[in-house]
Each structure stands twice: as C-alpha cells, then as structure tokens.
Structure 1
Amino acid sequence: MILHRPDTFPLIRHVGTDGLLVSFGDKLTEPANRAALAFRAAIEDAGWDGVEETSTSLVSAYLRFDPVHADPAQLTAQLKERLGGADWLQADLPEGRRFFRIPTVYGTDMGPQLAEAAAAAGLSEAKAIRSISETRVRVTTIGFAPGQPYLGELPECWDIPRQQNLTPTVPRGALVVAIRQLVLFSNSTPTGWRHIGQTAFQLFRPDSQTPFVLRPGDEVQFVPTDPEKLNNMQADPDGGAVTEPIR
C-alpha cells in the first residue's frame, strides 16, 4: 500500500503487517542514499514507542514496529511530520562513520576480470585501477550475505552491466564491479559482477561483538598493493586496512 502519490518522493509504504518503508528514490543516487541514512538515524534518535528495529537499503529507510503496541496510522503521521521538517536529500550524514583504506591487488590472477571490466568502461587497465583506487566510496547498504557491503558511486564510465553468465565462485575478500558500484564479498560465492581485485579484509566476524565490520555510511578506499604483500596480510583480520573516524 502506497501512502503518497507513486510519482513523487519520498514514498511511505506498508511492508507486511509490521513494517513501514520510506523511499527517497527509485534508483541509487548519492542524495537518495544520503537521505535514507540520515532519516534512519533520525528515527533511531527519536526513540518512538513501538518501533523495534530500523535499517536502510540503497535509497530507503525501514522501520519495524510492534503492531500490538504501536498504531500504524500514528507512526505514518509521525513519519510525514518528520519528513517535512528537513531537506533530507541535503541532510548531514550520521555521526560515528569511519574511513577504511583497504589494501587491494588489482588484476593478475587475483582479479582476473579487470581487463574485461576496464574495456567495458572504455579505459586501459592502468587507468581503470587509478579510477577505482582513487575514488572514495560509501557503504550504501549491507546485503546479500552477512556483512557484505555495496559501495558507490563510481564515476559514470563505470556504469557497466553485469555479466550475462555467472562466475561460478569468487573468494572471500573479492572486489567486484558493475553499475557504478563495488561489492566486497564476505564469503566465497557465485557472482554476475566482474572480479577485478582481491583483499584480505574479513567483513564477517561471527565471534566478535560487532560481527559486521562495515556499516552503512562508512567510506572506503581500495588502495593498490602487490600479491606478496597481500599474502603477508592474510593472518590479519583487517587485511592490513587502516581505519580512522570521519569527523
């Protein structure tokens, strides 16, 4: 059920019997992702009675409520009021974000589809590595596998499609690219995205108090390294990454 006109954003929609979804666009853009992150943080800070969980996707903020103790109509009214109180597309991103510099081997047999991806983007391999490694990307959402981040947006030349066929498997820590986004894999898995690089970064740490290392809003730069150095980083869960707070 759509609670606003379908051709305007933000949209408020029911999700099942106990969820509300606020969407700021119909495709990934920096402002829409910014709005989703900022709005979710505002709902968390508000501490509304009956709201049990919040999360974000690429362009939406989701809240799950207790239908016994919370009135959906009242929550919808509160959402509309909060939406009208700020320009969420220009809102400040939430506090507590971090910047990760993650060592990455590009190309070689550790990133075997770099040349193919570079050609699709109209770049040489050297320029492709420079373009990606110099771009500071944001974790737009976590999904598909535990702790797995989608990161973007890359320059427009990287608006390349997914593959027609699946790559049977890429290893944990693989860096893949498509549709102006990067994905860093938390587990070995098949993918339709092109495998361009490899890290030793462990995204999912089930024995930790914070098993998902990266969070939506964090920023990442994939810094070039060589295979020998990366191999020496394998014993480090951070894979040689350096982290600092974003102020």
Structure 2
Amino acid sequence: MAFSTIKDSITFHPLGDAAIVIQAGADIREDIHERVKQLFSCIEQHPFDGYVEAVQAFTNVTVFYEPYTVYQSAQLQQRDMSPYEWVKDYIEKLLEDKWQEGIQSNRRTVDIPVCYGGELGPDLEEVACINDLTPEEVVRIHTAGTYLVYMIGFAPGFPFLGGLSEKIAAPRRETPRMSIPKGSVGIAGKQTGVYPISTPGGWQLIGQTPLPLFRPDDESPSLLKAGDEVRFVQMSEKEFFSMKEAER
C-alpha cells in the first residue's frame, strides 16, 4: 500500500520533550499492526542525529530522541523550529520517500510447547467453565490457533498475542496473583500471552512452558518480537519437567 493512501490516517503528537508518538490507527487489527511494523522498520533503517530508539505498540510507534543533539545537528537556532517540529518534519518526509522499502513479508513462526492444567495451569477449569467447555476442549482450541505477536511489553519479553478464539476468551481474574511462575501461559479477554519472568499478574493461567522467552545474556534477549507468529503445542507433564531440567 502506498504511503499516500494512508497518510491522512497517520497522526503525530509529542510525548514530553524528548519523544514523538506516531499513531497508525485506533483499533487492534492486523492491518494496523502491519502499518506499525512498516513505520518502525522505516525509522529504524534511517535514523537521524539524536535518535535514541523506536518502540512499537499495538497502534503506534514512539520515537525517542535527544533534544539538544537534534537542536545542534539540525542548526535549529537558524530555523526557528523546536526539536519536536524538526523530528516530525523529518519523519513525514522519510515516510513519503522510503515507505515502499517496507518490511519483509515473511513471518517467523515459533512453536511453544505447553503443559496444560493441573498445578501448571490452575485456571484451566475456570476458563472452561466460563465458556461452557471441558478443559480438553479449551486445550484443543488453544493449540489449534496461530497467534500474531502484536507487541512486546509489560515485562521483558512478554508477548501480547492476537488471534485467540472467542470460544475460550475469559476476563482477567478479579484478584491478581502476587507472583506468577515464569513460563505461565494465560488468557485475558481475547488475548493470550506468556509470562517470561515471574511477576504479579491477573491473567487466567491455563498452562506453562519450559521454553525461556527472556534470555538476558543473549544479544537478543526476547525470544519473540512483534510480527512473529506463535503456535502452542501440547506436551505432557513428564516432557515438561524433562525439558525444564535440560534448559537449566
């Protein structure tokens, strides 16, 4: 899709004095996600003096920058412009010129093994009850889906996954847990996700994976990134503990 056809739907606004938010839409949809990835890719490939980083979210990209570096580099004292105005102008022109460079259409698919129910998935029966299903049916539906990683956030490496079947959607718990085990697979509303580290949380826990999603010593600490696809594969409790021991 040419940038000219979506230009009017992209808006900009400042976030403090050192960041700009580029809004690509209002809804959590796959086409908006693709637009966000395009924005992110374009900016990452063509940074400016003073650029710090770009962060993807569901419907926007936030670009962080060093105001004083931008001010000096762009000689703004001679242009009567603020760093924000210059960065906004730069990004607008960049998108006009480079939008077609785009991102690669091929998506990486990551299989995540999960042991469902029991102590590893204490809310599986609750999710089944909410949806008038058996626990086995919840597992079957959950493993049948392919899920899109919309963003990484909340905790290091935590993937917010879209594509959950409405048949197994469930509200967050009324009382969040103070500590959720690393690797727990949960459901909240129409989303599913995996807790990469132990943290408080209110998602309904249906299982657990022994696969580390956050590896702080690696060059790329997060196993998943926005744009990946995830498939959940059921494993036995014996396989779970065997793999967990091997990961240690």
Structure-1 residue corresponding to 2:123: 113
8 A Cα contact 1:172 1:186, kept in partner: yes
Q: Which runs of 5+ in 2 are unaligned?
A: 1-7, 71-82
- Higher gyration radius (CA): 2
CA distance in 2 between partners of 1:87 and 1:133 (Å): 36
Please report how far the alpha carbon of residue 25 of structure 1 lies from its aligned counterpart in structure 2 after TM superposition: 2.9
Structure-2 residue corresponding to 1:220: 230
CA distance in 2 between partners of 1:84 and 1:122 (Å): 51
- Where 2:224 maps in the other structure, the secondary structure is coil
- Where 2:69 maps in the other structure, the secondary structure is coil
Give, as a single letter, the amino acid of the residue that structure 2 aligns with 1:145. A
Output one character per residue of 1:180-227: Cα deviation in whole Å (capped at 9) or x when no partner. Answer: 111211122222110001100112222222222221112211101110
- Residues 180 and 167 of structure 1: is their aligned pair in 2 closer, same or farther, counting only changes over 3 Å? same
CA distance in 1 between partners of 2:231 and 2:138 (Å): 14
Residue among 207, 229, 245 paired with 1:235: 245
Structure-2 residue corresponding to 1:72: 84
Structure-2 residue corresponding to 1:5: none
- Residues 94 and 52 of structure 1: is their aligned pair in 2 closer, same or farther, counting only changes over 3 Å? farther
CA distance in 2 between partners of 1:157 and 1:87 (Å): 38
Please report how far the alpha carbon of residue 231 of structure 1 lies from its aligned counterpart in structure 2 after TM superposition: 0.8
8 A Cα contact 1:38 1:94, kept in partner: no
> Which has the larger share of helix?
2
CA distance in 1 between partners of 2:121 and 2:45 (Å): 42
Alignment of 1:168 onto 2:171: no
- Where 1:104 maps in the other structure, the secondary structure is strand
Q: Which runs of 5+ in 1 are unaligned?
A: 1-7, 240-247
Aligned length: 229
Structure-1 residue corresponding to 2:140: 130
- Residues 225 and 86 of structure 1: is their aligned pair in 2 closer, same or farther, counting only changes over 3 Å? same
Q: What pairs up with 1:89-108 in 2 under 5 angstroms?
A: 94=104, 97-108=107-118
Output one character per residue of 1:220-241: Cα deviation in whole Å (capped at 9) or x when no partner. Answer: 111011101111101344x9xx
- Where 1:234 maps in the other structure, the secondary structure is helix
- Residues 52 and 182 of structure 1: is their aligned pair in 2 closer, same or farther, counting only changes over 3 Å? same
- Where 2:245 maps in the other structure, the secondary structure is coil
Output one character per residue of 1:48-75: Cα deviation in whole Å (capped at 9) or x when no partner. Answer: 3332211101221111122123232132
Structure-1 residue corresponding to 2:46: 46
Q: What pairs up with 1:198-213 in 2 under 5 angstroms?
A: 198-213=208-223
Give, as a single letter, the amino acid of the residue that structure 2 aligns with 1:42. C
CA distance in 2 between partners of 1:121 and 1:234 (Å): 31
- Where 2:67 maps in the other structure, the secondary structure is coil
8 A Cα contact 1:118 1:125, kept in partner: yes
- Where 2:214 maps in the other structure, the secondary structure is coil
8 A Cα contact 1:174 1:199, kept in partner: yes
- Residues 205 and 72 of structure 1: is their aligned pair in 2 closer, same or farther, counting only changes over 3 Å? same
Structure-2 residue corresponding to 1:55: 55
Question: TM-score, normalization: structure 1?
Answer: 0.82
- Residues 98 and 128 of structure 1: is their aligned pair in 2 closer, same or farther, counting only changes over 3 Å? same
- Residues 174 and 61 of structure 1: is their aligned pair in 2 closer, same or farther, counting only changes over 3 Å? same
Q: Percent identity?
A: 28
Structure-2 residue corresponding to 1:31: 31
Deviates further, 212-221 or 123-132 = 123-132
Alignment of 1:22 onto 2:34: no
Structure-2 residue corresponding to 1:10: 10
Deviates further, 149-158 or 99-108 = 149-158
